[in-house]
Amino acid sequence: MNPDLEKRIRMVYPTGRIDKPNRRRLFGKKFETAVCGAVREIAEATSATYDEFAHWWEISRTLQFDFTLQGPRHDDWWCRLDDSQRISWLRENQGVYAILTLNISKVYPAYAFYFTIWKLVGQTEIDSDISYGLADTIWVPFFQELNPRFKQLGLVQLKECDREEEVLFVLCEESGDGIDEEERILVPATVHRCLFEEF
pLDDT tens column, 89-140: 888 887 788 999 999 999 999 999 999 999 888 878 888 899 988 878 889 9
Domain boundaries, given as residue ranges, for the chain: 23-164
Given a contact cutoff of 8 angstroms between Cβ atoms, the answer to whether 52 and 36 are in contact is yes
Report the alpha-carbon distance of residue 127 to residue 47 in Å, rounded: 26
Strand partners, 49: 68
Distances from the Cα of 175 to the Cα of 18, 20, 66, 84, 168, angstroms: 13, 17, 26, 35, 17
**Positive or negative, the Cα torsion across 144, 58, 105, 149?**
positive
pLDDT digits (tens, 9 = 90+) for 29-49: 999 999 999 999 999 999 999
